[in-house]
Structure 1
Amino acid sequence: MVPTPAGGGYDVTARTVAIALEDAGLAEEVEVFNLTGSAGTTGLSRLVHESGNTRLIMQMGLGLVGSALADRAPHPIADATPLARLLEEPEAVVVPHDSPYRTFDQLAKAWRERSGLRAGVGSHPGGPDHQALMLIAETLGVSPADTPFSRYDGGGKLLAALLSHKIDFALTGSAEYRHAIAAGQLRVLAVTGPQRVAGINAPTLREHGHDLEVVNWRGLMAPPGISQRERAELIALLDRLHTTPQWRRALRDNGWTDAYLSGDAFSRFLTAENKRVAALLHRLGLTGPTTR
């Protein structure tokens, strides 16, 4: 199950997992379906209500952690069963090919001067693009409240807004627009990960002297109510997938970074991420002082 619209990062990841499982001979006829609504939390509620169903897993990631907190979802992430983190992907600061901003430093100068820059993100408030935008603003000494932005559902709408100059720049996943970047439609001014991204000629924020890293991630969860044995079997399936050439090729072809983490280690990571994102969203005024 994909809790977000077709064509987005979760959808692409889920369908890639399904194809890799089938091609590697680990599963047959894996069905992928989208259940959208409330920035992914509708799908989370469905997952929780499917208690004990070992034939359903849900694509999720940093964005769903943020939306569950920002929207005060009826079911927190902790109600589901963590399986594995699959991959990481840094954010990218992108501009149209004919933008007057040729470097991140030029953009940062205009940002600090409150020059009316129009930013765009492809995620909901609390999602990875929005988190990256607000954290960069803070790093530049600009209050997040002084950084207006427009939100676009789906990568296609955000790309159209960039190319039509409705916005000046955007925060997006570094792999989201690889084809548009390669075609010369967009330029990447900086990436937010710890190192440069292969195939993208852009420096990191640290290379510009900014002590900040923002990395998106995606993983899989199962419903609550499954037994320890059933959970172990699902994790073992994903462990095997991670070692296959089909999955390694999928990572390479999509520009994703292998960040595999399964079982209890992923559970601990997810708990820490929930606390980190809750504190960030509270600081941004998107949640109250307490979270579940």
Structure 2
Amino acid sequence: MTQSRSVPLSRRSFSAWIAASAAAAGAGHAALWPRTASAADAPVSSKLRIVIPANEGGGWDQTGRALGAAMLASGAVGSVVYENIGGKGGTIGLAKYVEKYDADPDTLLMSGMVMVGAVALQKPTVTMANMAPIARLTSDYEVVAVKADSPIKTPKDLIAQLRADAANTVIAGGSAGGVDHMYAGMLARVADASQSLVYQAHPGGAEVVEALATGKAAAGISGYSEFSEGLASGKLRAIGVSSKRPFQGIASVREQGVEADLANWRGVLTGRKVPPYRKAALLTVVRRATATDVWQKAIKQNNWDPFWMEGKDFENFLETDTAMAGPLIYLLKLKA
């Protein structure tokens, strides 16, 4: 389902910027706006679209809307439209993005490790190679949670249950092939139960919480922000987090004796056909947004780890992540 929402903001000196930008591009320069005292505050785009390849309410949606709000607060854009295109770990949104916006200079795509894994598992025609990296924004860790009254108290308890009866130890999480699925596979591998893993894929964190609350899953895996309400209300209990060290007061799975750690990431991409000067402009928009108090507040509220990466560093990271996803999916014996 595709949904759009626009948030207006007054434009400041946009026409002047466009003229200066066009002149710079025509001269073959990298400058995106005239070097004047007010240049840093001038809008870079009148209207920007953020395509979120997931349903509303999940981690990608939270990140995309927080980024859009920060863009508006920075004055870098005049308005932001959000377009949700959910399904199959972001691969449906990825394909539709390439079809509709491949050359659109005012459209960004939210992405992350979930999409990388889903592409590796499902092998769609349209892949990450069809996109151009802009910036990595955050790292996020996987929380392993159970129903409050579950007999599973620690990661070792979960490993023991998987080892004893994996077929009846359902683990719920996000899309097939995504980071939740990968982490479930890592836990199953520790338990020597990779072949028997029963993974229940859901479109969002709310459905994972419901699966735990109703007893349809023995354990659930998702980002902290998607479990936070259930944890705070006492409906759920966290037994570990996939970071190497404690996170948000939750002991890491590794420090509890189970060697399995994994970090999710989220970032933004654009189309391959977008001209270089506009890719640079989009990077400027994102960079300015992440410097705002609005973005910093969102980072704190959602318990994300800020992890900025751009340029060649992000390109190389994405190439490595993509190259490693296939072998990891195979090693963990994950199934679509």
Query: Do both share a fold (TM > 0.5)?
Result: yes
Which residue is 2:22 aligned to? Answer: none
Match of 1:185 among 229, 235, 240: 235
Match of 2:149 among 82, 94, 98: 98
Which residue is 2:106 aligned to? Answer: 55
With over 3 angstroms needed to count, the CA separation of the structure-2 counterparts of 1:39 and 1:23, relative to structure 1, is same
Match of 2:173 among 112, 122, 144: 122
Q: Which amino acid aligns with 2:287?
A: D
Secondary structure at the counterpart of residue 175 of structure 2: coil
* Residues 126, 286 of structure 1: 8 Å contact kept: yes
Percent identical: 26
* Residues 90, 191 of structure 1: 8 Å contact kept: yes
Give the alignment's TM-score, normalised by structure 2. 0.80
Q: Which amino acid aligns with 1:173?
A: G
Which residue is 2:76 aligned to? Answer: 26
Report the CA distance between 1:115 and its aligned residue: 6.1
Count matched residues. Answer: 284
Stretches of structure 1 lacking an aligned partner (at least 5 in a row): 288-292
Q: How does 1:268-287 map to 2 (within 5 A)?
A: 268-285=316-333
* Residues 8, 154 of structure 1: 8 Å contact kept: yes
1:160-208 Cα distance to aligned partner (Å, 9 max, x none)? 111111111111112211111011111000100122112xx32112212
1:239 aligns with 2:287: yes
Q: Give the number of the structure whose alpha-carbon radius of gyration is greater.
A: 2
Give the alignment's TM-score, normalised by structure 1. 0.92
Which residue is 1:290 aligned to? Answer: none
Counterpart CA distance in 1 for 2:305 and 2:65 is: 17
Whose strand fraction is larger, Structure 1's or Structure 2's?
A: 2
Counterpart CA distance in 1 for 2:78 and 2:170 is: 43
Counterpart CA distance in 2 for 1:262 and 1:158 is: 32
Q: Which amino acid aligns with 1:119?
A: V
With over 3 angstroms needed to count, the CA separation of the structure-2 counterparts of 1:98 and 1:250, relative to structure 1, is same
Which residue is 1:210 aligned to? Answer: 258
Which residue is 1:136 aligned to? Answer: 187
With over 3 angstroms needed to count, the CA separation of the structure-2 counterparts of 1:236 and 1:115, relative to structure 1, is closer
* Residues 5, 11 of structure 1: 8 Å contact kept: yes
Counterpart CA distance in 1 for 2:334 and 2:230 is: 32
Which residue is 1:155 aligned to? Answer: 205
Secondary structure at the counterpart of residue 158 of structure 1: helix
Counterpart CA distance in 1 for 2:166 and 2:332 is: 22
With over 3 angstroms needed to count, the CA separation of the structure-2 counterparts of 1:51 and 1:115, relative to structure 1, is closer
Counterpart CA distance in 1 for 2:260 and 2:166 is: 23
Q: Which amino acid aligns with 2:127?
A: P
* Residues 235, 263 of structure 1: 8 Å contact kept: no
**Greater mean alpha carbon deviation, residues 22-31 or residues 109-118:** 109-118
Report the CA distance between 1:286 and its aligned residue: 5.2
Counterpart CA distance in 2 for 1:286 and 1:74 is: 20
Q: How does 1:226-265 map to 2 (within 5 A)?
A: 226-265=274-313
Counterpart CA distance in 1 for 2:154 and 2:120 is: 34
RMSD across aligned positions (CA): 1.7
Report the CA distance between 1:46 and its aligned residue: 2.4
With over 3 angstroms needed to count, the CA separation of the structure-2 counterparts of 1:28 and 1:126, relative to structure 1, is same
Counterpart CA distance in 2 for 1:39 and 1:193 is: 22
* Residues 65, 277 of structure 1: 8 Å contact kept: yes
Report the CA distance between 1:131 and its aligned residue: 0.2
Counterpart CA distance in 1 for 2:104 and 2:263 is: 31
* Residues 89, 175 of structure 1: 8 Å contact kept: no
Higher relative CO (Cα under 8 Å, sequence separation at least 6) belongs to: 1
Report the CA distance between 1:155 and its aligned residue: 1.8
Report the CA distance between 1:255 and its aligned residue: 0.9
